Amino acid sequence: MRTKTATAARAGASPSGRRRPKHKDNRIAFAMIAPAVILLSIFVVWPLVYAWVVSFYQWSFYESSVFVGLRNFRIVLEDPVFWASIGRGLTFSAITVPAILLIAFAFANLVKTMSARMAGVLKVSIYIPSVISFVIASIVFVLIFEYRQGLLNFLISSFGGSDVAWIGSARTALLAISVPAIWIGLGLASLIMLAGLLDIPESYYEAAEMEGANWFQRTFFITIPLMKNILLYVLVTTFVATIQQYELPLVMTQGGPTQSTLLPNLLIFQKFTNDLYLGYPIAAALLLFLVLGAISAVIFKLINSEKAVDG
């Protein structure tokens, strides 16, 4: 490239640039994107390509690998533990996602009616948990769920109930780990919903009120239809985030008791750290990636085109 322009200059192209080079900023542009592109290539693109390669082999750190074709994928797809973890992941999302959506929607509507100062306090309060790490959240909530003398059981027994082994019993453990997930996930969802709510023109509500519409009518006929895209965005991003959750069960329950909190990513992570051969966890991770990557890409496209419209 460089020699080409040099010869062009020597050949006596007019200095005022009658014949401008096609891409005038090549050199500085490549220098500026190089660090990002190189790092992404080594640590994101190559691992992904490599994962596809490894998924066709019986691969381990200690032996030479053997090509096995689609066997790893077949093993994953035929494994009842994998499907059980998917079902569990969907159950976990079915608990956390609606809870986050409903609370965030109520929160956004509430903040809208508050004085400026109160709104500020509310926004900051709901966002603070989302900067806390899953490890710290796990530590705190494990103690709240403690069987003997934990806070939750204290509250229950003071209303006359009996103690529940929240994270110690297979029936309640998944529910228990979804509480910190909701607690942490609420902040971002609430603020995005609030942003969407504030974008709805005032005049719509004023007109509706003149017609005598009550709060429920205004919510169902104005707010929800106009926030359709925001709601869809929050729904899908929250779903994609929760279906991939594994740090909370990793720290709180290690997937137990009796696999009741073994979410899909935790299963993959445990297979990775315990198994000798990496075919299974990599194939499982790629299967999830195909589904989730596609979902996020579609949503991003939707949102980005939306953004382009309102500038």
Partner 1 sequence: MAALPTQQITAPDGGPTEPAPLAKRSWYRSSSRSGGAVSFVFRFLLAAIIIMAALFPLAWMAISGFKARNEVVTSPFQFFPDVWMPQNYTEILADPSFTRALAVSFAGAVAFATLTLAVNSMAAYAFARLDFAFKNVLWVAVLSTMFIPQMAILITSYIVVTRMGMLNTFWVLLVPGAAAGIHTFFIRQFYLGIPSSLEEAALLDGAGRWRIFTLIFLPMSKPVFVVVGITSFLVFWNAYVWPVLTITEPDSPLTQIQQYLATFRSERRVEYGLLLAGSTMAAMPVIVLFLIFQRYIISGIRISGIK
Closest C-alpha among 158, 154, 238 to residue 166: 154
- C-alpha distances (whole Å) from 141 to each of 1, 5, 89, 165 are 60, 65, 20, 13
Contact 148, 201 (CB under 8 A): no
* Contact track, partner 1, 104-133, x by CB under 8 A: --xx--xxxxxxx-xxxxxxxxxxxx-xxx
| Closest CB 161 distance from partner 1, rounded Å | 14
Closest C-alpha among 85, 67, 89 to residue 77: 85
- C-alpha distances (whole Å) from 291 to each of 60, 83, 109, 284 are 26, 15, 33, 11
- Residues 210 and 189: their CA atoms lie apart, in Å, by 31
Decide whether 94 or 136 has the Cβ nearer to partner 1: 136
Q: Is 40 in the site for partner 1 (CB under 8 A)?
A: yes
Decide whether 4 or 12 has the Cβ nearer to partner 1: 4
- Beta-bridged to residue 66, according to DSSP, are 58
Q: Is 288 in the site for partner 1 (CB under 8 A)?
A: yes
Decide whether 84 or 200 has the Cβ nearer to partner 1: 200
Dihedral (Cα; 217, 197, 206, 122), 10-degree rounding: 100
| Closest CB 178 distance from partner 1, rounded Å | 14
Decide whether 130 or 172 has the Cβ nearer to partner 1: 130
Amino acid at residue number 82: F
Which range of residues in 7-15, 92-100, 102-110, 231-239 is near partner 1 by CB under 8 A?
A: 102-110
| Closest CB 196 distance from partner 1, rounded Å | 9
> Which of residues 8, 9, 32, 81 is near partner 1 by CB under 8 A?
32
Residues 223-282 binding partner 1 (CB under 8 A) are: 240, 244, 246-247, 250-251, 265, 268-269, 272-273, 278, 281-282
- Residues 224 and 220: their CA atoms lie apart, in Å, by 5
DSSP state of 161: -
Dihedral (Cα; 245, 251, 256, 262), 10-degree rounding: 20
- Residues 250 and 26: their CA atoms lie apart, in Å, by 47
> Which of residues 57, 72, 146, 260 is near partner 1 by CB under 8 A?
146
Phi, psi of 275 (to 5 degrees): -80, 150
Helix (H) or strand (E) segment spanning residue 67: strand 66-67
Q: Is 7 in the site for partner 1 (CB under 8 A)?
A: no
Decide whether 12 or 62 has the Cβ nearer to partner 1: 62
Decide whether 12 or 61 has the Cβ nearer to partner 1: 61
| Closest CB 110 distance from partner 1, rounded Å | 6
Residues 56-85 binding partner 1 (CB under 8 A) are: 61
Q: Is 164 in the site for partner 1 (CB under 8 A)?
A: no
| Closest CB 91 distance from partner 1, rounded Å | 19
Q: Is 24 in the site for partner 1 (CB under 8 A)?
A: yes
> Which of residues 6, 155, 224, 232 is near partner 1 by CB under 8 A?
155
* Contact track, partner 1, 186-225, x by CB under 8 A: x-x--xx-xx--xx--x--xx--x--xxxx--x-------
DSSP state of 43: I
Cβ partners under 8 Å of residue 155, min gap 6: none
